[in-house]
Chains A and B, each alone.
Chain A
Amino acid sequence: MKIAREPGPKFAAIKGYLVPWGCLAPALAFLALFTFWPLVSTLKLSFYQWNMVSPTPKWVGLTNYLEILRSREFWLAFWHTLEYTLILLALNLALPYITAYILSHLVFKGQNFYRALIFLPSVLSLAVAAVIFLWLYNPLAGPVNALLRLLGLPAPPWLSSYRWVIPALAVITAWKSFGYNFIVLLAGLVAVPLELIEAARLEKASNWQIFWRIVRPLTSGTALYVLVMTVIIGSQYVFVPIQMLTNGGPDQASTNLVFFIYQYTFNFFQTGKAAAAAVITLIIFGGLLFLQKRVLEKGVYYEN
């Protein structure tokens, strides 16, 4: 079938471009202004030395990259980012996944009550959550340690201990984002056709088998979304409790890549090095996204 070409081919060709691009323009303008322009500026800044107040940034070539890659702190931040991510994957993907399964297919009484209860913390701001946990974690007077002492367990100084500071901060972030991920996964889970599950029940499949062999594959699209969000956004969310409670301490034991960039910008005012670290971080996460597209997407089921 042919589309009518009324005022001549040339005009139509222009019109053919004009409408879609015209529709895209507002979005593209904002994207260019708030995403791509800062990206290019960051790239440019990473070759300079500048403290944000001096009128003349100094060109230093690749020095920033070399010094960042050679510093102990950057690699600490790198490994800590992985550590945070692994904990968050357990607390913000695996745990809400299973909870959502239980609350959608196994427990039917009081479902709405539980759902509301679990979602509640995600309406709080992370900064407020951090302050609440500061009090909970207080080594001498906090309720967490009071409880542990009551049970005769060791009561570590959560936020100044090398071993515990990362789990302690990850728990704050997890507590806050658990509810949101739970709701998203729940939405995916209730879409699983009940006939499939009933059929499996008739064949005496266990709850775990139903989850692992039917529900999980059928909700893999949702799960992938939560996975990517946890990996990418998780390290940014963790930043809030780090900045508010520990400043990366003790001795950089709780820093991550996002905090490292912040620290070099707004604590040390070495924006060139911060920009270099940001570019390296971008490359790392870009690599992860590429991997996700190439590897994970293949095993994912989408309803449509």
Chain B
Amino acid sequence: MFLNWRRGVIASVLIGTLAGSLLTGCGTGNKASGSGSAGNGGKVTTIEYWHVNSENFGGQTVRDLVQKFNEQHPDIKVVEKFQPNMYLGLMQNLQAALAGGHPPAVAQIGYNYLDYATANLPHLPVEDAAKTDPEGQAFLNNYLPNILNLGRVNGKLEGVPYSISNPVLYYNADMFKAAGLDPQNPPKTWAEVRDMARIIKEKTGNYGLYVQEPSDNWAQQAMMESNGAQVLTRTGGKARATFDSPEAIEAYQLMADMVLKDKTALHATWEEGTQAFITGKVGMYVTTIARRNYIETSSKFKVLTAPFPTFGNKPRRVPAGGNALFIFAKDPDQQKAAWEFIKYLESPEALTTWTKGTGYLPPRQDVTDDPRYLKPFMEQNPLMKPAVAQLPDAVPWVSFPGNNGLQAEQVLLDARDAILGGRQPAAEVLKEAAAKVNKLIGN
């Protein structure tokens, strides 16, 4: 019930934001350079910003944004720090840093750790930070209420939604041609994906497919839920792991069969898989739209994107990926600087740079619709279109409740290795893993 409600909200939000609404367009004109940056007696506040953007995942864009902010704010110095292993790795280092008493001021918290971060880590909810700023409310009014819900836990705004993504199917149009497939007709269902992967393997000798395998189960959740499964079912305030249902098993077994039986799909780390795709060794690649810029600029062949494939006629369900910005600074000066930096990152100029440099969809409708900012880009870049088109199919990214959320995520990663590595069939692995996760989240 709860999940359905949340899914409805998110779907309507995302449509609302990106498919066009009128009101927010008038832009409250929140300038990043902000107030109060002058006259601090020459004192410079240094703060850290933690992100997951590696060199081929928008790392350069993060550095550009930070540099620009530092130039505009002589009294604040932001130091950006990359955290490996995606949001899981960032959470782990963050908790250690908090234990050591030196947390970063601002960090990207993946939507899959909102519950965990809010419940376990001391932070300054951005709702409270906004209250100390006379312009705070006006700033938050730039967002549609439902987008802000992505950063809310139990009604409180804990982080400002920053990046929004969903998984799409990238494919190598040149390889499609070489295999005798029509690049204008990418696969729409997983059955077609399997067939085309086989054809690519037979005709070109390359792998047909790679589905991203970072330190999260985002793409796998999209597969299981598009086949009608629920990774986590919430009933009456209690959550249960339900990724061992027949639908979930079927989706995972399809992937395992492609890797182990057909040998048309690649099982490798995210870096290896990405490298394999951009060097033309894999025909189709399911990954986040957030990597659009890197893939587009690094591939020497024609890259196209298609919406995430469905299972027959079943509805597509893609988890809303990305992150919200949280404040972990304890010192009031640092908290103030952190808020100032968040306002900058969420400004129309910075969001435009961010979307162009990564592929993330912006959280602010006014930025998307403004001809001075993203409107021309969104209309011209064909690779972005499937991601925008499937926004109505967004569902929440699973966030395990309780104190053992990090270990629960690891159980799912181990299960993925066990299934795709061929230790046991999907049914057995998922049953075992679900029992374990249920124990960890208190069932």
Is the Cβ of A53 less than 8 Å from the Cβ of B423? no
Q: How far is the CA of A62 from the CA of B161 in the complex (A)?
A: 42
Q: In the complex, are the beta carbons of A268 and B407 less than 8 A apart?
A: yes
| In the complex, A63 has a CB within 8 A of chain B | no
A51 interfacial by beta-carbon distance below 8 Å = yes
Among A138, A141, A253, A269, point to the contact of B95 (Cβ < 8 A): A269
A140 contacts B99, C-beta separation under 8 Å: no
| B404 contacts partner chain A, Cβ-Cβ < 8 Å | yes
Answer whether residue A54 sits at the interface, using C-beta atoms and an 8 A cutoff. Answer: yes
Contact status A51-B410, CB under 8 Å = no
Residues on A with C-beta less than 8 A from B98 are: 52-53
A251 touching B404, Cβ below 8 Å: no
A139 in the interface (beta carbon within 8 A): yes
- The answer, yes or no, to whether A160 is at the interface (CB within 8 Å) is yes
Q: Is B37 an interface residue (CB 8 A)?
A: no
Interface string of A97-128 (1 = CB under 8 A from B): 00000000000000000000000000000000
- In-complex Cβ contact of A53 among B120, B215, B272, B275 (8 A): B120
Contact in complex: B410, A251 (CB < 8 Å): no
Contact of B406 among A251, A253, A267 (CB under 8 A): A267
> Within residues 397 to 415 of chain B, which ones have a CB less than 8 A from any CB in chain A?
403-404, 406-407, 410, 413-415
Q: Give Cα A162–Cα B120 distance, bound, in whole angstroms.
A: 34
Cβ–Cβ contact B121 & A251, under 8 A: no
Which residues of A have CB within 8 Å of B417?
Answer: 160, 249-251, 253
- Complex Cα spacing A269 to B267, Å: 29
Give the distance in Å from the alpha carbon of A140 to the alpha carbon of B278 in the complex: 13
Contact A269 B414 (CB under 8 A): no
Cβ A139 vs Cβ B268 within 8 A: yes
**Nearest Cβ on chain A to B56's Cβ, whole angstroms:** 15
In the bound complex, do residue A52 and residue B99 qualify as a contact, i.e. CB atoms below 8 Å apart?
Answer: yes
A161 neighbours in B (Cβ, 8 Å): 421
Give the residue of A54, A140, A266, A267 whose beta carbon is less than 8 angstroms from that of B275: A140
Name the distance in Å between A161's Cβ and chain B's nearest Cβ: 8
Q: Does B96 contact A (CB under 8 A)?
A: yes
Among residues 255 to 291 in chain B, which have CB atoms less than 8 Å away from a CB atom of chain A? Answer: 267-269, 272, 275-276, 279, 281
Nearest Cβ on chain A to B316's Cβ, whole angstroms: 29
Give the residue name and chain of the A residue nearest to B421 (CB).
A250
| Interface status of B299 (Cβ within 8 A of chain A) | no
In the complex the two chains form, what is the Cα distance from A247 to B416 in whole Å? 14
Contact A54-B120, Cβ < 8 Å, known A140-B281, A160-B268, A251-B421: yes
Q: Once the chains bind, are A53 and B95 in contact (CB under 8 Å)? A: yes
Q: Which residues of B contact A (CB under 8 A)?
A: 85, 92, 95-96, 98-99, 120-122, 215, 267-269, 272, 275-276, 279, 281, 403-404, 406-407, 410, 413-415, 417-418, 421, 423
28 contacts between A and B (CB under 8 A): A51-B403, A52-B95, A52-B98, A52-B99, A53-B121, A54-B120, A138-B272, A139-B268, A140-B275, A140-B281, A141-B275, A157-B267, A160-B268, A160-B417, A160-B421, A161-B421, A162-B421, A250-B418, A251-B417, A251-B418, A252-B414, A253-B417, A267-B92, A267-B407, A267-B410, A268-B404, A269-B120, A270-B407
Known: A54-B120, A160-B417, A268-B407; 4 extra A-B contacts, CB below 8 A, are A140-B268, A157-B267, A161-B421, A270-B407
